[in-house]
Amino acid sequence: MEEPLNYGHQHTLLLLNEDQLIVADCSMCGEKVSTPCFSCAEDCGFYLHKVCAEAPLELNHPFHPDHPLLLMHYSLLIKNPGYSSGYTCDFCYKDGNEFVYHCSCGLDFHIKCALFTFNIAENNLKELEHVALLLPLISTENDDDKLEDVAKCFGCREPLAKYTHFSPDCGFNLHEKCAKLPFKLNRVWHRKHPLVLQFNRERLSCKICQVTTGRGFVYGCSPCKFVVHIECVSTSFDFAVKEKSHEHPFNLFRRPSSFICDACGTEGIYVAYICCTCNIMVHKKCTSLPRIIKSKWHDHRLFHKYLLPDEFGSSDCIICHDEVDPEHGSYCCSHCNITFHVHFTLENEDEMPNESSISVIEWNDAGEAEKVKHFKHMHNLMLGPFVGGYENSCDGCMLPISDPFYYCSECGFFLHKACAELLKMKNVWYHLCQEPLTLISDKVFKCGLCSEVSNAFAYECCRCENKICLRCVVALTPGAQTCLKHEHPLFLYRDQERKCNACGKATWNAFCCKDCNFVLHAGCFSLPITARHKCDEHLLLLIDHDDNNYSKSHHCDICEESRDPNRRFYHCATCDTSAHVSCVLGNYPFLKLGSIIYEETCHPHPLTIVKKKYYYPDCDECSNPCEDVALECSKSECKYIVHWDCVAPDSLWFEWSM
The pLDDT of residue 66: 80
CA distances for 206 relative to 258, 376, 622, angstroms: 13, 49, 67
pLDDT at 336 > cutoff 70? yes
The pLDDT of residue 126: 67
Return the higher-pLDDT residue of 244 and 569: 569
Confidence band of 352 (pLDDT split at 50, 70, 90): low
The H or E element containing residue 405 is strand 405-407
Tens digits of residue pLDDT in 371-416: 999 998 889 999 887 555 556 788 888 888 877 889 888 888 898 8
pLDDT at 125 > cutoff 80? no
CB-based contacts of 25: which residues, under 8 Å, 6+ apart? 31, 32, 33, 47
Percent of all residues in the chain with a pLDDT value above 70, rounded to a whole number: 81
Angle at 479 between CA 579 and CA 464, to 5 degrees: 85
The pLDDT of residue 653: 46
The span from the CA of 489 to the CA of 480, in Å, is 12
Backbone angles phi, psi at 378, to 5 degrees: -80, -25
pLDDT at 541 > cutoff 50? yes
Closest CA to 454 of 632, 644, 600, 640: 644
The span from the CA of 604 to the CA of 442, in Å, is 20
pLDDT at 89 > cutoff 80? yes
Average pLDDT over residues 519-528: 82
Average pLDDT over residues 277-281: 84
In the three-class reduction of DSSP (H, G, I as helix; E, B as strand; rest coil), residue 532 is classed as strand
Confidence band of 654 (pLDDT split at 50, 70, 90): very low
The span from the CA of 287 to the CA of 389, in Å, is 55
Pairing mode of beta strands 95-96, 87-88: antiparallel
The pLDDT of residue 380: 92
Return the higher-pLDDT residue of 130 and 415: 415
What are the residue ranges of helices labelled H in 20-143?
50-53, 111-121
The H or E element containing residue 643 is strand 641-643
Closest CA to 507 of 520, 498, 516, 515: 498
pLDDT at 472 > cutoff 60? yes
The pLDDT of residue 55: 85
The span from the CA of 107 to the CA of 264, in Å, is 33
The pLDDT of residue 657: 43
Q: DSSP for 592-642, please give it.
A: -TT-EE---TT-SS-EEEEE-SS--PBPTTT-SB--SEEEEESSTT---EE
Average pLDDT over residues 180-195: 77
Average pLDDT over residues 229-253: 66
The span from the CA of 195 to the CA of 389, in Å, is 75
Closest CA to 110 of 141, 139, 89, 133: 89
Looking at residue 160, what DSSP letter applies? Answer: G
Backbone angles phi, psi at 370, to 5 degrees: -85, -35
Confidence band of 570 (pLDDT split at 50, 70, 90): very high
Cα R_g (the chain), whole angstroms: 33
Return the higher-pLDDT residue of 246 and 626: 626
CA distances for 515 relative to 504, 506, 518, angstroms: 19, 20, 8
Strand blocks (E) in 222-379: 226-229, 240-241, 250-260, 267-275, 280-282, 292-293, 302-305, 330-333, 338-340, 358-363, 369-374
pLDDT at 120 > cutoff 50? yes
The pLDDT of residue 313: 58
The pLDDT of residue 168: 65
The pLDDT of residue 143: 45
Looking at residue 76, what DSSP letter applies? Answer: G
pLDDT at 624 > cutoff 60? yes
Give the mean pLDDT of the chain.
Answer: 78
pLDDT at 242 > cutoff 80? no
The span from the CA of 285 to the CA of 90, in Å, is 27
**Using a CB cutoff of 8 Å and minimum separation of 24, what contacts does 308-315 make?**
308/332, 308/339, 311/337, 312/337, 312/338, 312/339, 313/337, 314/338, 314/339, 314/488, 314/489, 315/339
Closest CA to 357 of 407, 408, 425, 412: 425
The span from the CA of 329 to the CA of 338, in Å, is 14
Lowest mean pLDDT among 6-10, 138-142, 156-160, 415-419: 138-142
The pLDDT of residue 234: 59
In the three-class reduction of DSSP (H, G, I as helix; E, B as strand; rest coil), residue 522 is classed as helix
Average pLDDT over residues 519-527: 82
Average pLDDT over residues 164-177: 74
Average pLDDT over residues 319-341: 81
Average pLDDT over residues 243-256: 71
Average pLDDT over residues 576-594: 86
The β-bridge partners of 356 are 423
**Using a CB cutoff of 8 Å and minimum separation of 24, what contacts does 38-41 make?**
38/4, 38/13, 38/14, 39/13, 39/14, 40/9, 40/11, 40/12, 40/13, 40/14, 41/11, 41/12, 41/13, 41/14
